[in-house]
Structure 1
């Protein structure tokens, strides 16, 4: 049964979906967008594949904008798509200027057309699907395309593709990335960037170029598809900053993503936000935690464990 609109004459709300593999820069991108649109009223849905949503705590929301979290799976999976649709439906009468959805890094948007059909039926066309933006990591994209099918699917369904972190690679790597992306999706606009920065006018001109029902990927999918394991590292002991740095450097080539909060000696808290080949962490203010918790995505769970002295 459709959800009746309080204001049936209101314009449909632009709906933009953000995809990108683990560590590509989706949260940084969203914070840049939110800063540029700080005078607008924004709805935001953060989807996390694991049970803990660290990204939601990293989003800088201002004013009367709205944020919701959907955890423990992908919004495109049948197990969560209903929750996703219902969450969006609750936003329809909030007089928003935009709704952004950050999908999980492991998301596979093959069911997007069915989700949009259900959403339009439920809300009587309250939303205007503007398109999908995919953020890829220039440092890792060429290797990921050889083995992780979800990355290819995210690219295939997107209308704008940002090659992020171009400051970390040379021109040949970027050129190869462009060629590989165009082999999967020749219609999408490709923009090179660093620190996930874009011209905000790209959102105004974003157009849904994909016929979602006709996307075909069979020829591009790898027979050796890798599905990273997702697990939680938890420990109570406060550790030294040097210990954390050493640990992250030790595992950086064996993980796709590690993020969370760690108790540091002296009553301090560290935010860990690292991805493959990159170590990134910083001390944060006004963040009290009972236990250290790190969400990890890795090819092999057996390769990653915290030192026994931390437990």
Structure 2
């Protein structure tokens, strides 16, 4: 290993599990280090990049419109990692899409390591698990178990929102999928430096046909909702309650009435958050709401119908 070798650390976890919060926690831990960041979003807009707190010398790369373990983005991911490693950061932190399917991890890491010519070492994958939703969602979305299997360390997050019996059950499931690997229970993705240590066993794991495909819900699709005027907060909240029926996640920035100030909207089946936008130092600041649906076809019509019934203002939809 050369003196300027970069450590590549991946973060996986389903939509809404706390990956971006964890990434910011890691950046705080690595404040004295030079860090590169890659943020992967399933939808066309990269919301999470705008929430990341990087230092002035840190580099951030956005990869949107798919997941980095798919042929649609894996080439761009490898190129980004190799280019970033050439700049000599201590760490390259990668936040994968919440819908990442990492069973092909070993071949992608092998290609990146080879092309980096000694400037890159794989430091493992941290999978963050949503204690509220994990046991339910894993029944429908195959990628959830796949993310656990192909990780090296586990962070069971939001433990303050469930009882001890639920945490014990989650630990048993995770231990059966990834026996012998470190496991931490936390709230709000609060971590210490211990999370940065451990083996990178996932590099040696081969694809498993068990995780081929997407499961009962099929491959999720997405669209972007854009408004033409500020939105009434109460009507927006009513729309989000309706949207939980057909969407795994809604996240983005919308202007709220009466002032038209941008707010961060973040909704999953377990929570709704609407708060004034406070941007990090990374990424672009783009207005719109990414909707990740539960079906193969984009949720365009459900979005239009729900918005018309609950809000009533004009919108347009992009895929």
Q: TM-score by structure 2 length? A: 0.87
Task: Report whether the alignment pairs 1:212 with 2:215.
Answer: no
Q: Could you tell me which residue of structure 2 aligns to residue 186 of structure 1?
A: 179
Structure 2: runs of 5 or more not aligned: 315-319
Q: Could you tell me which residue of structure 1 aligns to residue 273 of structure 2?
A: 280
Q: Could you tell me which residue of structure 2 aligns to residue 75 of structure 1?
A: 68
Among 144, 148, 172, the alignment partner of 2:137 is: 144
Distance 1:232 1:221 in 2: 24
Secondary structure of the structure 2 residue equivalent to 1:119:
helix
Q: Could you tell me which residue of structure 1 aligns to residue 317 of structure 2?
A: none
Secondary structure of the structure 1 residue equivalent to 2:23:
helix
Shift in alpha-carbon separation, 1:162–1:40, aligned structure 2, 3 A: same
Alignment of 1:22-171 (within 5 A): 22-171=15-164
Cα offset for 1:110? 1.5
Secondary structure of the structure 2 residue equivalent to 1:21:
coil
Q: Could you tell me which residue of structure 2 aligns to residue 237 of structure 1?
A: 229
Among 232, 239, 247, the alignment partner of 1:247 is: 239
Q: Deviations over 1:18-48 (max 9, x none)?
A: 0011111000111111122222211000011
Cα offset for 1:221? 8.9
Shift in alpha-carbon separation, 1:253–1:178, aligned structure 2, 3 A: farther
Query: Number of paired residues?
Result: 302
CA contact (8 A) 2:253 2:289 kept: yes
Q: Could you tell me which residue of structure 2 aligns to residue 3 of structure 1?
A: none
Shift in alpha-carbon separation, 1:162–1:136, aligned structure 2, 3 A: same
Secondary structure of the structure 1 residue equivalent to 2:55:
coil
Q: Which has the bigger relative contact order, CA under 8 A and spacing at least 6?
A: 2
Q: TM-score by structure 1 length? A: 0.89
